[in-house]
Structure 1
Amino acid sequence: MREQLSWKVGGQQGEGIESTGEIFASALNRLGYYLYGYRHFSSRIKGGHTNNKIRVSTSPLNSISDDLHILVAFDQETIDVNIHELAADGIVIADSKFNPVVTEGYDVQLFAVPFTEIATELGTSLMKNMVAVGATSAILGLAPSHYQDVVEDIFLKKGASVVEKNMEAIKAGADYFRNEAGANMPDLQLAEADGKKRMFMIGNDAIGLGAVTAGSRFMAAYPITPASEIMEYMIKKLPEFGGTVIQTEDEIAACTMAIGANYAGVRAFTASAGPGLSLMAEAIGLSGMTEQPLVIIDTQRGGPSTGLPTKQEQSDLMAMIYSTHGDIPKIVITPSTVEEAFYDTVEAFNLAEEYQCPVILVTDLALSLGKQTVEPLDFSKVEIRRGALQTDEIPAREEKEYYKRYEVTESGVSPRVLPGTKNGIHHVTGVEHDETGKPSESPVNRQAQMDKRLRKLSNLEATFKQPLFVHAEHDEADLLVIGVNSTRGTIEEAMPRLEADGIKVNHVHIRLLHPFPTEALKPHIDRAKKVVVVENNATAQLANIIKMNVNSVQIENVLKYDGNPFLPNELYQACKELV
């Protein structure tokens, strides 16, 4: 019996590849298995090779696998492109319609199944993906009935007959494979039934849920890969809570609308990717100067320019910290799991209001769009903190004396009031201003206001209490591996392999990128013989940020920037060579 395996379906974009993976994975998730999925897709609406790789296990996992056990192919290109991943006992199940062949030199089992023919006989060739799901269930020893609830959830709105037809297709695929093909692969070990209902979701959905939970009721955004699912989630959910989403003409408008909504007292945000973040740079400065809360979600993808819109990269790190002109306080948060994406989104809204500054929550494509099993979320951990927002009655002042919205305070955070509040009148402007918001070019005032803004974040580490994820069991490590965002699961899987070779490994993952948690990280660096920074970019941006904040640290870089995420084995090999 297998404790885990890796399954992949591939074909042309628009052929139902995503729905095939969704149905397969959702059924297994409901059976109690842990899953981790990663989609490879083209930056076009239809056409071009796409595949969905899903790892299935009886225990938790947070990365894609090195190899592949089952490949479901709807065209020959899928076999040619992906066969190198197949393990020695791997299986290819392909639609017999295209006369599939296995590339010479690969010792794998090939089973040609008439997906399209069976589906057509049942009423429509569109159900060929359901036939493929049925064939897969036969390999794994799963009954077609396990897919019933999932199929009903997806198709019942189209009528009971549609559900019945799709279930017939799954059963037909399973029957054909069992009776006509057969495969020599052990059944998948049963998942332990612990009674928990785990979610199966992408990082973008966790961010959307986090925003709703945090009390956000307005989102302004422009669609862009890989952030669009956040907008789609909010379009579905916000109206249920009296909120709304506006699709703007561009990212500049989206960012300024979010600033305006926050000024009016509504928790608002926007979400984009690298190109959109570039357009928002001036508006981010406006948030900093006017001291208005602002939450931005940046889902990193391959750059520069249009770059690789649908591929993995972590190359926005410097841009998020330094792209805005002038000096303003800014917070950059980098969750590394879907669960963290939820909790950190809630925290981003709290920090934006507490420190009255822009907060950027950063993911990467693998975390944004990778679908994985998520433990039940603990909503008791959620709290709403609105900072220095004044809700009590404001005392009257002398005539023409304005409210000191930008009062110079020891903490750097000024009292905040919503527009229309009695006795709270003040100016708001993007130019330098005095305590009431009135424009001022006085050198004394300029320095006082600048110092006030910049000391806001002096105690942020006390507020953001977990700036690092730490897995460090050794007082003196041969290697300290540092990463950010989705590389966490891959590092965690590579570590036991290194330990088995006698290499002592500690692991730290950065969760607060700016202001950088120097004091929290430095002790771990001091306890390591060698520091390795793993990141998906070409210029070692994370490593350089560490060097800027930790004196005299020597770093070995492990970089990957071909558009694909790290695999556990390649990370293991790269780290082993550095010892």
Structure 2
Amino acid sequence: MLEQLSWKVGGQQGEGIDSTGEIFATALNRHGYFVYGYRHFSSRIKGGHTNYKIRVSTKVRPANADKLDILIAFDQETIDFNAHELRSGGVIIADEKFKPVAPEGMDIRFFVVPLTKFAEEAGSAIMKNMVALGASACVLGLPATTFESLITDMFLRKGQKVVDSNMTAISKGIEFMKENGGEIEEFRLQPGDGKQRLFLMGNDAIGLGALAAGARIMPAYPITPASDVMEYLIKKFPKVGGHVIQTEDEIAAITMTIGANYAGVRALTATSGPGLSLMMEAIGLAGMTETPCVIVDTQRGGPSTGMPTKHEQSDMYAVLFGTHGEIPKIVLAPATAEECFYMTIDAFNYAEKYQLPVLLITDLALSLAKQTVEPLEYDRIVIDRGNLATPEQLAAVEDGKLFKRYEFTKDNISPRVFPGQKGGVHHVTGVEHTEVGRPTEDATIRTKMMNKRLNKVQGELPNSVSYTGDENPDLLVIGVGSTIGVIDEALERLAAEGKSVGHAQVRVLSPFPTETLQKYVDKAKKVLVVENNATGQLKHLMQFFGVKGELQSQLKYDGNPYLPHEIYSHCKELF
């Protein structure tokens, strides 16, 4: 029996590809499997090839598989574009409607199934995806009941007849495959553990994290691949008195976010590379006025419009150095959907504790791929609103005097007030200012204010780097963002071959964890930095921030995430 299996459905955008993959993945997640789903789609609303690749496993595998076991084709393009991924003995299930042609010279099992015809017999041609799910279930040895609870949850509001029609379509797919040799013993999956877990993409986890952190306002302008954060909170915020505001552009989004935080409401915005560029001046305003705010940057293929629906990790320089002048900022880089949830809460706490902008940087694969997530531990959530002025501090302000909003303190964190608090009146300006906010160009005050702002965060943040592997490895691999799954899998194979390996995953880019990374680099014989960009940004950041040692790069920037074998093969050459 198989420990893991890779399944893909493909067709034209607007043909129900996403819903087909979503039903397949969610149903198996409910049965206790670990699932990872990655969508490949074009930068258009309808038309153009799209596919949804699902990996099902009995253990955590947050990455695409190297090879494909089953391909569901709703058109010939799906076969032409994706058949090369099939392993020897793999399966193609194609709709007879388009008279499919099997790829030449491949050792595969080819099934032509009347998907559309069976769907029409069940009630509607739109249910061809359900017939395809039934055909898949037969190959995997899964009963129709695997999908029953999910189908009921999805369609019962439309009536029992709709539920029954969809189940009939699934059954027709199963029966046809049984009658035509589609029960394949070697494709049987080991049973899942039956435990209930979440199935989330990173963007949903960020939205949920913002909700749990107490955020109640999100001004944002739609942009791929960040829009799902906005769409998630559009549904959730009204239930708790919150609001999502679709702004006219990203400049309005960031300035509204700053204004909301200044008023005392936790607020966030989310964007991608082009939108982040537009936000830079206002991010500097947040730094100068010491106003907390959270900005989510979901990286995609650039520059300019680039490839809006493709994967890349090329915004690291931008989030660290994009603003003019010098301001403090914290940059967090989660690696999994689960971390997206917890680190979003951290982002709000850090923003208010240190009174500065916090950027949460993800990438398209992490933002849009869905993965199994263990039940979230809500008792871990702590809300830290930072240094809010006490009633005693406000009462001590003399009549006619201004509150020292930017007071010089030992820890460089000034007391903060919300508008309307008695005794809290002060100036707020984007120019250099005194302790009460009055504009100034005094050289001494300027120097003190710069030092105050830039020295708020002392040392590394907790859990800036995670590490797994041998204590003194022959090869250390360093990654960031969604590369965690493919690196882990590649090194697992090498370890099984007796190779000495280690994996350090960077989770905080600012303040940069130089000391921790240096410790791991010093213990390794060779160091490889794996990232999805053309210039080796993470490697260069390590060097810029003082990590000493010989660093090698593995780079991929074709718009696709790494596959495990790509990292495995590169690493093996280094031994």
Residue in 2 aligned with 1:151?
A: 151
Q: Do the aligned partners of residues 182 and 472 (structure 1) sit closer, same or farther apart at CA in structure 2, a change above 3 Å counting?
A: closer
Q: What are the Cα deviations for residues 401-451 of structure 1, in whole angstroms up to 9, with x where unaligned?
A: 100000011211111000100011001111111000111111111111111
Residue in 2 aligned with 1:496?
A: 492
- 1:56-455 matched pairs, under 5 angstroms: 56-193=56-193, 196-393=195-392, 394-455=394-455
Q: What are the Cα deviations for residues 34-88 of structure 1, in whole angstroms up to 9, with x where unaligned?
A: 1111111111100010011101111221111000100000011101111111011
Alpha-carbon RMSD: 1.2
Match of 2:506 among 510, 513, 518: 510
Any conservation in 1 of the 2:5–2:57 contact (CA below 8 Å)?
Answer: yes
Please report how far the alpha carbon of residue 197 of structure 1 lies from its aligned counterpart in structure 2 after TM superposition: 1.6
Please report how far the alpha carbon of residue 160 of structure 1 lies from its aligned counterpart in structure 2 after TM superposition: 2.2
1:239 and 1:180 map into 2 onto residues whose CA distance is 51
Q: What are the Cα deviations for residues 6-33 of structure 1, in whole angstroms up to 9, with x where unaligned?
A: 0000000110000001111111111111
Q: What are the Cα deviations for residues 368-408 of structure 1, in whole angstroms up to 9, with x where unaligned?
A: 01111101111111100011022535214333210000001
Any conservation in 1 of the 2:301–2:309 contact (CA below 8 Å)?
Answer: yes
Which 10-residue stretch deviates more, 291-300 or 148-157? 148-157
Residue in 1 aligned with 2:569?
A: 573
SS in 2 for 1:456: coil
2:32 and 2:348 map into 1 onto residues whose CA distance is 33
Q: Which amino acid aligns with 1:256?
A: T
Please report how far the alpha carbon of residue 156 of structure 1 lies from its aligned counterpart in structure 2 after TM superposition: 2.1
Residue in 2 aligned with 1:467?
A: 464
Answering whether residue 541 of structure 2 is matched by residue 545 of structure 1, we say yes
Deviating beyond 6 angstroms after TM superposition, the runs of 4 or more aligned structure 1 residues are none
1:391 and 1:161 map into 2 onto residues whose CA distance is 62
Please report how far the alpha carbon of residue 501 of structure 1 lies from its aligned counterpart in structure 2 after TM superposition: 3.7
Any conservation in 2 of the 1:410–1:452 contact (CA below 8 Å)?
Answer: no
Q: Which amino acid aligns with 2:573?
A: E
Any conservation in 1 of the 2:2–2:190 contact (CA below 8 Å)?
Answer: no
SS in 2 for 1:119: helix
Residue in 1 aligned with 2:16?
A: 16
Please report how far the alpha carbon of residue 192 of structure 1 lies from its aligned counterpart in structure 2 after TM superposition: 4.3
Residue in 2 aligned with 1:5?
A: 5
Any conservation in 1 of the 2:257–2:293 contact (CA below 8 Å)?
Answer: yes
Residue in 2 aligned with 1:536?
A: 532
2:551 and 2:237 map into 1 onto residues whose CA distance is 45
2:133 and 2:552 map into 1 onto residues whose CA distance is 44
1:388 and 1:81 map into 2 onto residues whose CA distance is 57
Match of 1:483 among 479, 483, 490: 479
Any conservation in 1 of the 2:31–2:196 contact (CA below 8 Å)?
Answer: no
Please report how far the alpha carbon of residue 551 of structure 1 lies from its aligned counterpart in structure 2 after TM superposition: 4.3
Please report how far the alpha carbon of residue 2 of structure 1 lies from its aligned counterpart in structure 2 after TM superposition: 1.4
Any conservation in 2 of the 1:367–1:485 contact (CA below 8 Å)?
Answer: yes
2:468 and 2:496 map into 1 onto residues whose CA distance is 17
SS in 1 for 2:138: helix
Please report how far the alpha carbon of residue 164 of structure 1 lies from its aligned counterpart in structure 2 after TM superposition: 1.6
Any conservation in 1 of the 2:514–2:547 contact (CA below 8 Å)?
Answer: no
1:179 and 1:447 map into 2 onto residues whose CA distance is 81
Any conservation in 2 of the 1:27–1:146 contact (CA below 8 Å)?
Answer: yes
SS in 2 for 1:296: strand
Q: What are the Cα deviations for residues 474-506 of structure 1, in whole angstroms up to 9, with x where unaligned?
A: 3x2211100000000100000022223443111
2:475 and 2:555 map into 1 onto residues whose CA distance is 16
Residue in 1 aligned with 2:556?
A: 560
1:15 and 1:98 map into 2 onto residues whose CA distance is 14
1:181 and 1:18 map into 2 onto residues whose CA distance is 28
TM-score normalised according to structure 1 size? 0.97
SS in 2 for 1:458: coil
SS in 1 for 2:457: helix
Unmatched tracts of structure 2, length 5 or more: none
2:58 and 2:473 map into 1 onto residues whose CA distance is 31
Q: What are the Cα deviations for residues 244-288 of structure 1, in whole angstroms up to 9, with x where unaligned?
A: 100000111000000000000000000011111111000100000
Please report how far the alpha carbon of residue 175 of structure 1 lies from its aligned counterpart in structure 2 after TM superposition: 1.3
SS in 2 for 1:201: strand
Which 10-residue stretch deviates more, 147-156 or 360-369? 147-156
1:29 and 1:443 map into 2 onto residues whose CA distance is 61
SS in 1 for 2:391: coil
SS in 1 for 2:112: strand
Q: Which amino acid aligns with 1:490?
A: V
Q: Which amino acid aligns with 2:240?
A: F
Answering whether residue 30 of structure 2 is matched by residue 30 of structure 1, we say yes
Q: Which amino acid aligns with 1:207?
A: I
Q: What are the Cα deviations for residues 149-181 of structure 1, in whole angstroms up to 9, with x where unaligned?
A: 111222222222222211111111111111234
SS in 2 for 1:92: strand
Which 10-residue stretch deviates more, 286-295 or 465-474? 465-474
Unmatched tracts of structure 1, length 5 or more: none
The percentage of aligned residue pairs carrying the same residue is 59
Any conservation in 2 of the 1:111–1:181 contact (CA below 8 Å)?
Answer: no
SS in 1 for 2:52: strand
Please report how far the alpha carbon of residue 190 of structure 1 lies from its aligned counterpart in structure 2 after TM superposition: 4.0
Which 10-residue stretch deviates more, 42-51 or 121-130? 121-130
Any conservation in 1 of the 2:268–2:294 contact (CA below 8 Å)?
Answer: yes
